[in-house]
Structure formats: C-alpha cells, structure tokens
Amino acid sequence: MLSFTVKRSAKCFFQQKNCLSSFNVIYENYGDPRKVLVGREREIQPLKDGQVLLKFLASSVNPADINQIQGVYPIKPSMPAVGGNEGVATVIETKSQNLKVGDWVIPALAGSGTWRSHAVFNEKDAIKIDNSLPLESAATLSVNPCTAYRMLMDFERIDEGDVVLQNGANSAVGQAVIQIATDLRIKTVNVIRDRPRVENLKRFLFDMGADYVLTEEECKTQLSDILRKESAPKLALNCVGGMSATNFLKYIRPKGTMVTYGCMSKIPFKASAASLIFADITFKGFWMSRWNDENNQSAERYRTLDYLSSLIKKNKLKCPPVSKVPLEKFPEAIENAMTEFTTHKQLLV
C-alpha cells in the first residue's frame, strides 16, 4: 500500500455550509505516478454563466494517463495538473442553457483532468452522452470504442464482407474493433501473442464476433491461406509495432492502409520501400485526442457517441473487465494499472 497525502482545505472546512470542496488527484511535477500523485481538497467556486458543476461518477486509469504523468506523452498540462483524461460525470448544478441537472457528460478534450470528485466545467468543454448507459461503459466510452470506430471509418471505405486485419486484438481497442466490425458485417482477422491458456482468450474473442484469431506464430503458416480464402485486407490496425506490423505489410491489399495507434512492443516497424512504392500502401497514425480536438462538438462526434451508445444498449459492445476503486484509494488503482499483466481496467469511483 502506498502512502499519500490529503491536504484538506481548512478555509473550506470552517466556512458556510454551501462551501463545496472537491477531492483531486494531482501532480505538480512529472515522475513516477506512484510517487508524484497526491490527493488534495480544492474549494469549488460559484458557477458563472455557461458553466456546470459536475460530480464525477467514474474515471478510468488508462496507459496514456500514466505516460502523461511520467512526462513522456505529448499532452503537457500546466502544473499542478489533475490526473486522468477519461471519465463520466453528472451535472449537479447548472448555469448552462444546454446542460441540465442529471445529464451525463464526458470531457470534450484530453487534459481536462478526470480524477476528481467534482469540477466546474464550461459547457463547451463537456459532451453530453446517454445517461442510461451502464456506468462502466459510459466511463470508458470516449477513448477505446471511439478509437476503434474512427479507425474503421476514416481511412478506407470498408464494405460488408471486407476484411480488417489487426494485432493486439485482445486490447480494449481490439475488442471494440471486433464488436463494431461484427455489427457492421466486416470480417476481422485478429492476431494475439501466444500465452498460457491461449484457447480461452481465443474463445473469448470468438464469442464477441471475431472471425479468425491467430497467434503471431500461427500467422506464419495460416494467414496467407485465410486471406486467400477471404480477401486481402484494405485496412490493417497496428498497436504492436515491431515484427508484428512489419509482417502485416505483405498481406495488405495494394493501395491499402495500415493505421498505427500504439506500439506495445516499443519497437518501430520496418517500412519496406517495396510496400510503399510497388504495393502503394499508405502508413498513417491515429490519435483519439487529436481527433477529438479537431472534431470537438462536431456532429460527427455526436454521431459516433450515439452509434456506440446504441451498440452498448443492445449489448453488442461490452466493456472490458474493470475494477472499481474509490477515488480516495487512488494509489491502489495506480499500482494495479502499472502492474505488468493487468487484466482489469481500473475505474476510480
């Protein structure tokens, strides 16, 4: 168990009863999240026009949050910063024409800080979502499922029956890709790393709609045959890098695209000249934070959230397993999130 400090606002404690304070998980310097994060009470100021008072219901701990606190992520909030980029909050007081008490919202942009009990947001910094979603799904809606959906939509025109190839298929994004593709009648060829009881993981992914699941090793002997039987993919999704991505290049259809959204292996892939020149494959990257920034409050963003919410409500898009940890016990959640073989996403509630 890690030690941490809660500095309560003495001023707030002894003031009038309307004074509300918020519990914030903050950092004042980049470093090991297990060391630099502290809990701090902060006084909530009265609302101005166009503002809402939010109570956070659940906030996720994502790998990018950890990297951001370590200082190795391109989002550099001003210090002291509140941790967390994803979460769902409910409006408990409003001076906005657009948001009413009881609405559920997610932060419009990354870097807003979600690891806190309460916050005052300008209405433009909050996106209203369906408040009848399961809490876990709402709290984890804005990053992984949105990433999966945009990657399926924005790079290639994928028609029913087309094949999408992906590695890291058991990641949260990978699971969302499988489920969304299933709804859109797109076939998925899913690559995972070999592991003990790999058949259990394969069954789990098949159950969610995966058409094919192969280990990296099985790709060597089976991927060609599968893609001959189906069709060569126009789109490959890469969150692993290294040999896994390098090997994909020979299977992608000429003029197709490989979209990189992560690099779990921490090794860049080898971009062969032949794949670029002769096969005319395009290599692109995708970063959900940038898409949100460029599509903040756009109709397309609302359409994306509506579509994903409808899938969740039809039970066609399940949330990966989560562990709920009370916000005040954040060190436990951080420790769990930084454990190498973590299987559950940590949700601060």
Instruction: Write out the two tokens for 150.
Output: 């945009």
Q: Which value, to the nearest 10 degrees, does the dihedral of the CA atoms of residues 167, 173, 174, 175 take?
A: 160
Q: Is 104 in the site for its own copies (CB under 8 A)?
A: no
Q: Is 67 in the site for its own copies (CB under 8 A)?
A: no
Whole-angstrom Cα distance, residue 271 to residue 245?
9
Binding mask 222-241 for its own copies (x = CB under 8 A): -------------------x
Pairing between strand 163-166 and 187-192? Answer: parallel
Q: Is 220 in the site for its own copies (CB under 8 A)?
A: no
- 144-154 vs 299-313: helix crossing angle, rounded to 10: 120
What residues from 300 to 329 belong to the interface with its own copies (CB under 8 A)? none
Provide the minimum distance between the beta carbon of 101 and its own copies in the complex, in angstroms, as a whole number: 38
Helix (H) or strand (E) holding 329: none
Q: Is 109 in the site for its own copies (CB under 8 A)?
A: no
- Choose which of 11, 271, 296, 343 interacts with its own copies (CB under 8 A): 271
CB under 8 A: which stretch of 2-10, 37-45, 90-98, 280-288 binds its own copies? 280-288
- Choose which of 275, 292, 309, 346 interacts with its own copies (CB under 8 A): 275
Q: Which residues contact 333 (CB under 8 A, 6 or more apart)?
A: 61, 323, 325, 346, 347, 348
Give the side-chain half-sphere CA count within 13 A for 7.
8
DSSP SS3 for 235: strand
Q: Is 283 in the site for its own copies (CB under 8 A)?
A: yes
Nearest CA-CA partner of 21 in 33, 35, 7, 34: 7
Only one residue has tokens 């630099």, namely 36
- Choose which of 31, 102, 268, 321 interacts with its own copies (CB under 8 A): 268
* Residue positions annotated with a catalytic role: 73
Helix (H) or strand (E) holding 253: none
Q: Is 276 in the site for its own copies (CB under 8 A)?
A: yes
- Choose which of 220, 290, 303, 344 interacts with its own copies (CB under 8 A): 290
Q: Is 185 in the site for its own copies (CB under 8 A)?
A: no
Q: Is 282 in the site for its own copies (CB under 8 A)?
A: yes
- Residue 171 and residue 193 in contact, taking contact as beta carbons nearer than 8 Å: no
Q: Is 71 in the site for its own copies (CB under 8 A)?
A: no
- Choose which of 280, 293, 300, 306 interacts with its own copies (CB under 8 A): 280
Q: Is 210 left (phi over 0), alpha (psi -120 to 50) or beta?
A: beta
Q: Is 30 in the site for its own copies (CB under 8 A)?
A: no
CB under 8 A: which stretch of 126-134, 164-172, 212-220, 281-289 binds its own copies? 281-289
Instruction: Write out the two tokens for 70.
Output: 């370590």
Give the count of residues interacting with its own copies (CB under 8 A): 29
Q: Is 84 in the site for its own copies (CB under 8 A)?
A: no
CB under 8 A: which stretch of 80-88, 102-110, 122-130, 269-277 binds its own copies? 269-277
CB under 8 A: which stretch of 93-101, 223-231, 255-263, 308-316 binds its own copies? 255-263
Q: Is 256 in the site for its own copies (CB under 8 A)?
A: no
Q: Is 28 in the site for its own copies (CB under 8 A)?
A: no
Provide the minimum distance between the beta carbon of 260 and its own copies in the complex, in angstroms, as a whole number: 4
Number of Cβ atoms within 10 Å of the Cβ of 2 = 13
Provide the minimum distance between the beta carbon of 276 and its own copies in the complex, in angstroms, as a whole number: 3
List b or e across 110-146, with b for residues whose CB sees 16 or more CB atoms inside 10 angstroms: bbbbbbbbbbbbebebbbbbbeebebbbbbbbbbbbb
Q: Which residue ranges make up the site for its own copies (CB under 8 A)? A: 74, 241, 245-246, 260-263, 268-287, 290
